[in-house]
């Protein structure tokens, strides 16, 4: 029970943090497409402003003789009645010439309020006299209680006198007017919006069309439009105190605006938001079960295949695994071509691809329960990739969640992208709970073999280097875009660079976090667990789409770091399992010796980690191919080229598969490997060696008088 509560708690926290990261990246993605300036900061407002700050700045500009005086006059006219409580009490303290300039700049506000004639502002002196008398007579009206009472009366009945009372307050009444709009559910609510909307339009100069005798849906649409306007501009017309200014660092942001729109969409107060949410949920109910079915089929196929390989040890497992890899990868291009058979073909191809990845990354244990549990646990890390590949195939088919995501990307619909990302995050976050879904088997004592040194195949490595060098030189000599062949060479070179960067970033993260979390540092272990939960919660397909807005190389670096977190967790698991089997204490300064750890524990875990690192060459193209199918900007690499129909796409598909298979076979060849239990003497020698080490004193006993003999 305690473990389940802990898992759920960190799942909720990971989803919350993932929503912040997703919002920042999706907003960047849509801003790049629309080129529209943002009215609010993204996540944190480091310099929140209010009516007082803007009024004093506008007064300084207006009173001066510089080029900004005209801007100051326009700003005072825009601030309107919200500026009067800040400028009129101090009007007499200004210099005579400045006082006249400011009074003339306030004249448009008085005309909009309907409280002054043209003769009152004919000269600066008359304008100063008018506003001095105005504040002496009407300052009591500019109080929160008085404004609230007048707005409530107008909301009940739109009499001309009541409308005039609110108009005379101008923008000072905006906060109460926005609150008075309320939720629109009935015809009475629609009539209230009809009474308040003309006053808001008169005060702000912004109009949202509302037909006579509006329906509930029309009134709700206009009310939501005014609420959105409030989030963008409402902070300019209120005065913030100490706590309010501190809260404004978060409240005056685009992210909080989205959070405030979520309850409206869920409750149905926002018709457009509700329609968008219903569309996303309907597509998700049709798409997610198929993606989960493909993942389940992949787990079943990989389980049966690994059991078969374990029973028939005369077959070369590396050859079978490499053949499976060549047949099933790159994943996105394979599923893209299977879409010609419809949804069933895409699901089948995705299941084969997932099975190939699981066969490669998992050893074949002899115990069925342990084997199934490890397959399910590893499948949890493949869940985000499975979702991304499947929605990419759905974008090609024009159905399901993939078609909706492609449409949202093409139209820069940020809210739809966020809802799709939330659905993918919740589904991917369930991978945190997958390892605990099956009962744990009893721990079995496993006889350990000897770690044999690596024997790399020089000829295959040299052949790979020659091919890579030829592709790189060809890409440098032939300009991109000159011909299909030049385009292919340029894409191949870009793939080599991005794959190398992603693999290097993944290797650095893996060795740093994996080794530290494998028994050396408790803090690193906790950090790795939290980072892994976050990677599950991120909507990886849309996350990758946003990453490529930074460029192909930067995206490869960031996505490689994300991949490294998954491999670091796998390395940690292998390190702990091997250390427990060897009955060794965790290494530490001044505690346990580190030499046995480096000789007997670390080499045994390097092989699986190296193979997972090699599979980065398949993981990155799968995400990039899904992004290309969704219509996101991607780099000109083989992954984007492999999903294109035609001979060029097939050639890119074949080269990607060959490159990934070669890297995986080389990773197996150059990694230290554990000899089987059939090694002569190992069943007796190894337990005997561990027994001797356990009874051997760590240091000689001190002699008489504390001296060592």
pLDDT digits (tens, 9 = 90+) for 83-115: 888 888 888 888 888 888 888 888 888 888 888
In contact, 28 and 255? CB cutoff 8 Å: no
Highest mean pLDDT among 37-41, 511-515, 521-525, 599-603: 511-515
Is residue 64 scored above 80 in pLDDT? Answer: no
Is residue 673 scored above 70 in pLDDT? Answer: no
pLDDT tens digit string along 516-530? Answer: 887 777 888 888 888
Is residue 309 scored above 80 in pLDDT? Answer: no
Residue 329: band (very low, low, confident or very high) from pLDDT cuts 50, 70, 90: low
pLDDT at position 255 is 87
Report which secondary-structure segment, H or E, holds 473: helix 458-477
Residue 8: band (very low, low, confident or very high) from pLDDT cuts 50, 70, 90: confident
pLDDT at position 699 is 45
Considering only residues 2 and 63, tell me which one the structure prediction assigns the higher pLDDT. 63
Domain parsing of the chain, residue ranges: 51-141, 144-252, 274-437+458-674
Residue 574: band (very low, low, confident or very high) from pLDDT cuts 50, 70, 90: confident
DSSP-derived 3-state class of residue 367: coil
Angle subtended at Cα 449 by Cα 446 and Cα 450, rounded to the nearest 5 degrees: 155
pLDDT at position 429 is 74
pLDDT at position 479 is 56
pLDDT tens digit string along 203-229? Answer: 888 888 888 888 888 888 888 888 888
pTM for the structure as a whole: 0.75
pLDDT at position 337 is 75
Is residue 698 scored above 50 in pLDDT? Answer: no
Query: Mean pLDDT in the chain?
Result: 77
Cα distance between residue 290 and residue 343, in whole Å: 9
pLDDT tens digit string along 415-435? Answer: 888 888 888 888 877 766 665
In contact, 326 and 661? CB cutoff 8 Å: yes
Considering only residues 79 and 656, tell me which one the structure prediction assigns the higher pLDDT. 79
Is residue 681 scored above 70 in pLDDT? Answer: no
pLDDT tens digit string along 462-480? Answer: 656 666 666 666 555 555 5
| Beta-carbon-side half-sphere exposure of residue 522 (alpha carbons within 13 Å) | 0
Of all residues in the chain, the percent with pLDDT exceeding 90 is 0
Is residue 325 scored above 50 in pLDDT? Answer: yes
* Cβ contacts of 418 within 8 Å, gap of 6 or more: 19, 22, 23, 26, 258
Residue 460: band (very low, low, confident or very high) from pLDDT cuts 50, 70, 90: low
Is residue 276 scored above 80 in pLDDT? Answer: yes
Is residue 679 scored above 50 in pLDDT? Answer: no
Considering only residues 704 and 296, tell me which one the structure prediction assigns the higher pLDDT. 296
Size (the chain), residues? 709
Is residue 688 scored above 60 in pLDDT? Answer: no
Residue 586: band (very low, low, confident or very high) from pLDDT cuts 50, 70, 90: low
Angle subtended at Cα 319 by Cα 314 and Cα 325, rounded to the nearest 5 degrees: 140
Angle subtended at Cα 255 by Cα 250 and Cα 260, rounded to the nearest 5 degrees: 90
* Cβ contacts of 508 within 8 Å, gap of 6 or more: 564
In the block, tokens 């599979």 appear at: 615
Considering only residues 536 and 307, tell me which one the structure prediction assigns the higher pLDDT. 536
Cα distance between residue 92 and residue 94, in whole Å: 5
Is residue 70 scored above 80 in pLDDT? Answer: yes
pLDDT at position 444 is 39
Is residue 43 scored above 80 in pLDDT? Answer: yes
pLDDT tens digit string along 384-405? Answer: 888 888 888 888 888 888 888 8
Of all residues in the chain, the percent with pLDDT exceeding 70 is 76
Report which secondary-structure segment, H or E, holds 288: helix 271-311
The conformational region for residue 160 under phi > 0 = left, psi -120 to 50 = alpha, else beta, is alpha
pLDDT at position 707 is 43
On the 0-12 / 13-18 / 19+ scale of CB atoms within 10 A, 455 is exposed
Residue 306: band (very low, low, confident or very high) from pLDDT cuts 50, 70, 90: confident
DSSP string, 180-207: HH----SHHHHHHHHHHHHHHHHHHS--
């Amino acid at each position: 029970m305690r473990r389940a509560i802990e898992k759920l708690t960190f799942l909720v926290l990971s989803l919350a943090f993932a929503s912040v990261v997703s919002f920042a990246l999706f907003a960047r993605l849509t801003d790049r497409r629309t080129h529209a300036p943002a009215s609010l900061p993204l996540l944190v407002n480091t310099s929140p402003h209010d009516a007082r700050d803007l009024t004093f700045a506008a007064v300084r500009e207006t009173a001066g003789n510089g080029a900004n005086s005209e801007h100051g006059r326009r700003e005072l006219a825009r601030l309107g009645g919200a500026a009067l409580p800040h400028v009129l009490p101090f009007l007499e303290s200004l210099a005579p010439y400045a006082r006249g300039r400011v009074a003339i700049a306030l004249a448009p506000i008085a005309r909009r309020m309907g409280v002054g004639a043209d003769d009152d502002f004919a000269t600066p002196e008359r304008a100063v006299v008018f506003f001095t008398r105005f504040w002496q007579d009407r300052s009591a009206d500019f109080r929160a209680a008085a404004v609230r009472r007048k707005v409530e009366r107008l909301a009940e009945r739109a009499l001309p006198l009541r409308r005039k009372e609110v108009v005379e307050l101008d923008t000072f009444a905006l906060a109460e007017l926005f609150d008075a709009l309320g939720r629109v559910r009935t015809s009475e609510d629609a009539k209230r919006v009809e009474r308040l909307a003309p006053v808001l339009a008169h005060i702000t100069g912004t109009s949202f069309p509302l037909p006579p005798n509006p329906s509930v849906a029309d009134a709700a649409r206009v009310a939501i439009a005014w609420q959105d306007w409030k989030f963008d501009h409402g902070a300019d017309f209120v005065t913030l105190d100490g706590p309010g200014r501190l809260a404004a660092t978060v409240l005056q942001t685009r992210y909080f605006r989205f959070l405030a729109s979520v309850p409206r969409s869920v409750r149905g107060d926002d018709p457009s938001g509700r329609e968008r949410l219903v569309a996303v949920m309907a597509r998700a109910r049709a798409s997610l079960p198929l993606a989960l079915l493909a993942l389940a089929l992949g787990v079943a196929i990989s389980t049966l295949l690994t059991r078969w390989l374990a029973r028939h040890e005369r077959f070369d497992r590396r050859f079978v695994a490499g053949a499976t890899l060549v047949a099933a990868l790159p994943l996105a291009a394979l599923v893209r071509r299977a879409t010609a058979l419809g949804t069933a073909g895409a699901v089948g191809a995705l299941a084969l691809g997932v099975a190939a990845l699981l066969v490669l990354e998992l050893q074949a244990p002899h115990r069925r329960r342990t084997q199934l549990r490890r397959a399910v646990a590893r499948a949890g890390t493949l869940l985000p990739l499975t979702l991304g590949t499947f929605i990419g195939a759905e974008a090609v088919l024009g159905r399901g969640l993939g078609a909706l995501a492609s449409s949202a990307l093409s139209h820069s619909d940020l809210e739809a992208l966020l809802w799709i990302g939330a659905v993918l995050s919740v589904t991917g976050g369930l991978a945190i709970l997958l390892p605990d879904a099956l009962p744990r088997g009893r721990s079995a004592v496993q006889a350990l073999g000897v770690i044999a040194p690596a024997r790399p195949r020089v000829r295959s490595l040299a052949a790979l280097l020659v091919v890579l060098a030829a592709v790189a030189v060809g890409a440098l000599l032939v300009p991109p875009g000159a011909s299909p062949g030049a385009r292919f060479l340029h894409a191949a070179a870009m793939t080599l660079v991005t794959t190398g960067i992603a693999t290097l970033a993944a290797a650095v993260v893996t060795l740093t976090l994996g080794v530290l979390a494998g028994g050396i540092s408790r803090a690193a272990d906790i950090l790795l667990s939290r980072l892994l939960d976050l990677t599950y919660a991120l909507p990886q397909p849309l996350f990758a789409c946003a990453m490529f807005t930074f460029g192909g190389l930067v995206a490869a670096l960031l996505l490689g770091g994300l991949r490294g977190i998954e491999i670091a967790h796998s390395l940690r698991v292998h390190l702990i399992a091997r250390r427990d089997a060897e009955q060794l204490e965790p290494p530490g300064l001044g505690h346990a010796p580190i030499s046995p750890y480096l000789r007997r524990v670390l080499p045994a875990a390097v092989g699986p980690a190296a193979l997972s690192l090699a599979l980065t060459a398949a993981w990155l193209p799968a995400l990039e191919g899904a992004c290309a199918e969704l219509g996101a900007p991607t780099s000109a690499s083989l992954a984007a080229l492999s999903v294109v129909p035609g001979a060029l796409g097939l050639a890119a598909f074949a080269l990607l598969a060959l490159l990934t298979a070669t890297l995986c076979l080389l990773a197996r060849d150059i990694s230290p490997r554990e000899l089987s239990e059939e090694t002569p003497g190992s069943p007796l020698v190894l337990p005997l060696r561990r027994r001797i080490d356990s009874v051997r004193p760590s240091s000689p006993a001190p002699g008489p008088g504390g001296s060592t003999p």
